[in-house]
Structures are given as C-alpha cells and as structure tokens.
A and B are shown apart, each in its own frame.
Chain A
Amino acid sequence: MEDTITANEAIEDQAVAEEAVPQKKQRKPINQAKLQDNLWGWIFCIPLIVGTVWFVYICLVLAFLLSFTDYSILKGDMFAYVGEMGQHIFATTTETGEKIVQPFHWYSYAFTNTIESKTIAGYMLPEIWLYMFNTVFYMIGIPIGMVLSMFFAVCMSRDIKGGNVFRVLYYFPCVASTISIVFTFKLMFSQQGVMNGILGLKDYGGGGGFQWVNLSGFTDLTWNRIISDAGGTPNPNSKFMNESFWCQGLLTKVIIIVMSVWKGLGGTIILYIAGLSGVNAATKEAAQIDGANGWTIFWKVTMPDLYPVIFYNIVTSVIGGMQIYAEPTLFIGESYITSGYVSLIWLSGLNGMGAKPSQGAAYGMILAVIIFALTMFQFWLDSRNKD
C-alpha cells in the first residue's frame, strides 16, 4: 500500500509540475472507484429488485403458504393470518370433537372434486380435468397459427414493393383490445351474421340461422342427423353427439380458436420475418446453383436456420396458452364447458365474498408446476434434438 501511495505522490508531483488539472483524478485510489461502482449498481437496480421481489417472489411464497390454510376473503387481513399460520392450517373437526389437520386438503380436493353434468342428471365429471381439457383444446390454435404465419412471413419477405405496409396491417389485431374483438366476433358469428351469410346458413333450422355460440351439443346439426339416425330425423338422445362433454360448446371453442389465431398472427409473422432475414443468403444461393428447387431450399436451408425462432415461439405460446382466460369468459361467460384452467382459480379464489384465496392459491400452484414441467419438457426435447 505504501508503495502505491508514494508512487501516486510521485506522479502527483509530476502532474502539478506540468499542469494542475489531472490532480483530482489521480488522487483517487482504485478502491474508491470500485466502491462507487458497487454502490451505484445497486442504487440503479433497487426499484426493479424491490418491485420484483415484492410483487412476484413474496406473492409466490404467500400463495404457497396460503394454499395450506383455510383462509377466505371474509377472514380479514392476510398478513395477520399468515403470521399465525400455525393455527390456521386447514383442519376438519370430527363428530367427537377431534381436530384433524389436513395441510394438503385443497390439493387433494382439486383432484377429487367432481361436478354434475349439465346434460345428464346425476352424472359426475372430474372438475379439474374438464378445465384442463378446454385449455389444451384451445392450444390447437398454436400449430395452426404457426403454419399460417410462416406462410405469410415467407410471402412478405419476398422482394416486393410495400412489404412493410403488409407487416403493419397484419399487426393491427395484436394491438387491439381483446374485449372489442370479442364483441365484434360474437356479432359476426351471430345467427344472422356475416359468417352465416357467407356459409349460407342464415336459413338453417327454419329461418333462425345457425347458432355458433352455444353451450349445447350437436342436437340440431345436420351431420348429427346423418350419424345418429339412418332415417334422417335428428336423434336428440344420441349421448355421444349431444350429451358427452367433449362436443358441448365445441363450435364456440372453435370460434375462440379462430379469433385467437387471427389476433396472434401479426406478432408471430414479425418474429418469423426477423428470423427469415437472418437466414444465410450464401447457403441459399449455393443450393440454388446446385439445382435445388424452392421447396427443398425452404425445408433444408431455411427451416434449420429458423429453428431457434420457432422454438422460442412454441415455448412462449404454450406458456401463454396455459393461461387463457379472458377470451372464453368474455365470449360466453364462465362454465366448465368452455372456460380455461385460470377460470378455476378465479371462481374458487376470488369470485364473491365467500371466495377462498387459499383454494385458488392451491389451483395456482398446480398450474405453476404444470407450466414449469411443460417448459422443462420442451427444453429437454430441444437438447435431445441438438445431439
């Protein structure tokens, strides 16, 4: 240390002798600069760290803790409740007055709860799997959207005039609010709407028009008539077509898929255009000279280069697809026939004064685990693919 100080002093003397300006700077020991770096690094980060920890990590821990308790909105302040959590773990009292502690009550409840079918009296359906089926069903839109947007992206990245204008126009639905789009689609698919006009279904069923948005089965659909009864009369008692869970509200779900694909197309197109512009032009040209046609070049040269973009797109779409909530709810309201998994969290945890955030938190933890597992599975597939 002494050596450096003396060296500094020597330099300082020289500097003073030459010109007095750099005096200030050179007196600073190196440690001071490092201290400044550390200090200001933390100061600039502090808001983001506080926000993320407070609104994400603490909430995650709270949700995890809450899922073991019997907290409901009526029980007042959550912090006081979690603070004395030991007393509030979910418990049931038997007839003899004995208290049985069941910390995993909401988890076992989630997987065992059944609800009665709306169409078949007394027929019980496993609740969580119904909502999960809907969520996964809506994901049919992901591959459709990917293929379509790839097609449009390839069209747009041709060397044509006005390609940028198309890019902007296709991105419009992405910035529009879901609620406006849902109302528009609902009216366009109404019984006398544009869609029935195009498909010639305005006079269906005696002039009423074909009903797309409903929660029933295929009772009045022509091919139900063909499948269920050779005589041509509709068979309202066909359980497979009218009463089983899978076919109820199926057309509504299809419209929601169409809407989500339409809305999400622009964003994916832009991702793919960015990816396509990064494809190695020299390789492409070489393949062309070797006599490969456009189709072969696309599959053998372009696609491998696009792989990272496609993978990124799949991962984010699956994460987003697992969290679908607003579209089905705005379209037709919440019901086990059309709603996604997140509805379960909302209905059990936050809906009304008697709601139990503890139960909702348990459903939320299950969702988090599912999403995490799905993402890890995709990364595992990705790593296997690379070998």
Chain B
Amino acid sequence: MENVENIVEEEPVVQEEKQQYSSIRYAWGAVLAFFGISTKTHRASKKRAKFVGDVFTYIILLFGTFLMVYPFWWMIAGSFADTETSRELLERLVWWPEESTVTSEFVAAHSAGGIFWNYYYFFTKGVQVSENSLTFWRVLLNNFIYSVVPVVVGVITSASAAFSFAKINWIGRNAVFYFLLAAIMVPGPSIMTAQFSLYDSLGWRDNGLVLIIPGMFGSIMTAFFIRQFLFGLPTSIIEAAKIDGAGYFRIFCGFILPLAMPAIMAQGLLSFMGCWNNYMGSFIMIPGTSHAINLPHAIAAMDGFGGNGPFAQQHYASVIAGSVICVLPVMILFACFQKLIISSLMLTGSKE
C-alpha cells in the first residue's frame, strides 16, 4: 500500500520539474535513455536497459575469459616451438612461435616425432638427461597410480564413514565425528617433518607407497561432504531394506553407493585432480633419485629450479610440452564432468 502512495505522490513532481531542465540536459537524458540509463528527464525502457547491461556484461566476461584462457593457449603454442637454436624464441612468443615444429622442413628433418617432436623428446630423452635414468612413461604411470588407487579406495572408505555418521545410530557417533573433523585444523606443513620421519621408518618413501597408502584411508573432508549429501536421502529406504532382512553391508553396497553416486563421483574427481597435481607430496616425501616420483616433480627436476637445469636452454620447449601433458588430462576430465563438479562445489557454497 505504501508503495502505491509513493508513486502517486511523486508523479506530479516529476512532471513539474521536467520543464525546468535546460535543453542540453534534456538531450543528454535522451542519449542516456537510448543506452538504457534512466535519468530525471527520461525514463529508459526496461528492455533497453537489460540489453545494454547484457552487452556490457558480455564484454567484461569475454575479456575475463581471455585472461583466463590465454596462458593455456600460450602453453600449447609454446609446446610447438622449435627451440633447438635458442630459448629466446620461447620468450618472445605471443600467439604462435616464430619457428615452430609445424613446418614441412622441420617434420622432414625430424622423422621420429613429426610436429609433436617436443612431446617425443620429453618422453624419450628424459632418460639421458635426468640423472637417474628414468623414463617419463614410468613417471606418467606413477602419476596415474597415485591418482587412481588412493582416490578410488579412499572415496569408498570415506563414503562408508559418511554412511555410518549419517544413517546409523551408534553411541558416541557425534563425538567421533567432531574428533575427526578437528583434524582439518592441523596444518599439513606443521606435521610434515613427523610424517616424513614416520614414512621413512616405515620404508614407504623410495617406493612411492607414501602417496598411495595414506590416501586409501579416506579423508574427513570427503566424508563430511558425502555425509551432508546423505542427510538429504530419506531414512525410510534404509528402514525398508532392514525390514526386508538386508544387512548394513548390503544396504551400503546396494543403496547408499548408487544413491550417493553424484556426491561420491564429484568428490572423487576433485581428489583425483588434487592427487594428479600433487607436487608437494612427491617433492617432500619421495627422494629425487627414486623412480617413484610423480609427473609434476619430474617436470620440476627437468627445469632444474629457475631455468638453469640441463633442459633449460636448448630443449626448453619440451618442458612446456611436459606442462601441457600435466594439465591436459585434468582439463579434459573437468570438461567432461563439469556439471557434476560445479554443482557439487555450489552445494559447498550454499551449505556454508
């Protein structure tokens, strides 16, 4: 009711003032109204205002997208640079390298790799260049194992814990849950040295078990998010299953896992990405001379910290090729499952 009164009161005032404006101001108001901005002299149509706003939004967002995507394009273009003569070529790169591997002369001179010569070099010559005669196929395999085995097993153990916390009534359930949740307050670097000594005395460092076994026990954050998801599922399903004589194990495998699949998949994919990019874990825990190092660690070793390593000058483009190999699988995976992952992240945002 108040609103209506306001409008009624204001309207005659506006009409009176209209005549007082100078013609310049009036024309300016007309121009602004054309671009969808309402002034005291002219009222722009809502449709026009929305259209102009949308155009500006698109311009801003497209500019932002350019900033977000350009470094990736740079990376891909750089991986096709022919840096055999100088590395400077790579520094000057803006859109496409001045001398690239995508030329008929280059392909004729390098029959082995063709236009993907930098990638070929990255995979084969790593043997000669890195100190420990390690092939990059091995590194890739390591990275794959480190990011699949602990994630698959860890997500299932986390989901089982989440099921227990969300749907089974047992004494001390909340106490145990908060006890575990408090573990996220402990910063990783603080206990890094103790973990290092622990894994050292267990003998997990040289063979890379350090990146597999701890992850297999699941993580409390994953369990927390799956638990939030399970609270949304009706308990009556479980009750019905119980009445039909299903045990808890059967309920977990037959009902909870399929029903909570979206949450489990999203959490699993997110932790897959984390494990694939886990530079710190490998760098700190696994000695550089071991054959168990993962891909980011190997690329860093190739670069030699600051561009002075053996690879740094002549074949620097193959380090960039390695970077592309490190980024590409995760990007493709994310692009395929973006809906699932983003909706899961949105859930995180709206929950807290």
- Which A residues lie at the B interface, using CB under 8 A? 24-25, 36-38, 40-45, 47-52, 54-60, 62-63, 66, 71, 73, 77-79, 152, 155-156, 158, 160, 164, 166-173, 175-181, 183-188, 190-194, 197, 262, 265-267, 270-275, 277-278, 289-291, 308-309, 312, 319, 322-323, 325-326, 329-330, 332-333, 342, 345-346, 349-350, 357-358, 360-361, 364-365, 367-368, 371-372, 375
Contacts and interface: CB of A to CB of B under 8 A. Distances in A.
B26 interface: no
Given A44-B163, A48-B161, A326-B279, A262 B170 contact: no
Interface residues of B, number: 101
B300 A44 contact: no
B232 interface: no
B160 A47 contact: yes
Interface stretch (B12-20, B54-62, B103-111, B118-126): B54-62
A43 to B, nearest CB: 8
Interface of B: 3, 6, 53-54, 57-58, 60-61, 64-65, 67-69, 71-72, 74-75, 78, 88, 90-94, 157-158, 160-161, 163-165, 168-171, 173, 176, 180, 183, 185-198, 200-201, 214, 216-220, 223, 243, 245, 247-249, 252, 273, 276-277, 279-280, 283-284, 296, 299-300, 303, 305-307, 319-320, 323-324, 326-327, 330-331, 334-335, 338, 342, 345-350, 352
B64 A357 contact: no
A180 B303 CA distance: 11
A202 to B, nearest CB: 9
Given A172-B69, A181-B71, A277-B350, A55 B217 contact: yes
A183 B324 CA distance: 11
Closest 8 CB pairs of A and B: A51-B217, A274-B349, A41-B170, A180-B323, A364-B190, A44-B164, A177-B277, A63-B194
Given A47-B160, A78-B200, A176 B352 contact: no
B201 to A, nearest CB: 5
B100 to A, nearest CB: 16
A333 B171 CA distance: 51
A37 B185 CA distance: 30
B300 A330 contact: yes
Nearest to B67: A262
Given A44-B164, A49-B176, A326-B279, A177 B69 contact: no
A183 B323 contact: yes
Contacts of B223: 48
A377 B78 CA distance: 46
A69 B26 CA distance: 81
Contact of A188 (B71, B160, B196): B71
B39 to A, nearest CB: 12
Contact of B330 (A175, A185, A371): A175
A79 B201 contact: yes
A62 B324 contact: no
A207 B146 CA distance: 46
26 contacts: A38-B170, A40-B170, A47-B218, A48-B218, A57-B186, A66-B194, A77-B201, A78-B201, A158-B53, A158-B54, A160-B54, A172-B68, A172-B331, A176-B277, A178-B296, A180-B323, A184-B78, A197-B94, A265-B68, A266-B68, A270-B345, A274-B350, A342-B189, A349-B196, A367-B187, A368-B190
Contacts of A51: 157, 214, 216-219
